[in-house]
Structure 1
Amino acid sequence: MNEDEPSLKRLKELRQTYSECVFSGSWIFTVVGLLAALPLGLRWKSYNPLVVGFLAGGAGDLYRSYHYICSPLRDKIKQMEEQLHED
C-alpha cells in the first residue's frame, strides 16, 4: 500500500467538498437579481430583464462563494497539493 493513498483520498474528498461549496454556497444574489428585475419585466412585458437578473445574480453568487465563503477550503487544498508534490 502506498503511503500517499490516504493523502490522495483526503485531497479528493476536499475537492468534492469544495465544488459542492462553490455551487451550493449561496443563492442570495440570484434571488435579489430576480426580484429586482421582476418589475422591469412586467413593465416592459419582456423576459429579458429576468434572464439578465438571474444570470447576473448567479455570477455574483459564484464569485462570492469562490472568493469569500470557500476560500479557506481552497487554501487547504492548495497546501495539500504542494505537500504531495514535495514528497
Structure 2
Amino acid sequence: MVQLSGLTERSFKRRFKLATGMTPMEYVHTLRLEEAKQYLETTDEPVEAIAELVGYADASFFRRLFSRRVGLTPSQYRRRFRSMRLAMQ
C-alpha cells in the first residue's frame, strides 16, 4: 500500500489513520474478520479452513484475534449467528 501511495511509510500510516481511524494492519484485520464472519454464518467449513481462506496461515492466531475483536470464539459466533441467519430465511 505504501508503494502504491507514493508516500513515505510514516506519512502513509499517519494519513491512513486520519482517514480511517485505524492503522493499515488494523484495517486489514477488520476486513479479514468481516469476511470470516460471512463464512462462519453461511458455510460448514472448518475454522482452520476459514482462517486460511481469509489470509491467516496460523489458525491459532486467527482464533485469538477473532475472540479478542469479536468477543466470541469463531465456533461460538457460528452457533449464535448462523442460527439467526437461518431463522430469517
Higher Rg of the two aligned structures: 1
Same fold (TM > 0.5): no
Q: TM-score, normalised by structure 1?
A: 0.33
Higher helix share: 1
Q: Higher RCO, 1 or 2 (CA under 8 Å, sep at least 6)?
A: 1
TM-score, length of structure 2 as denominator length = 0.32
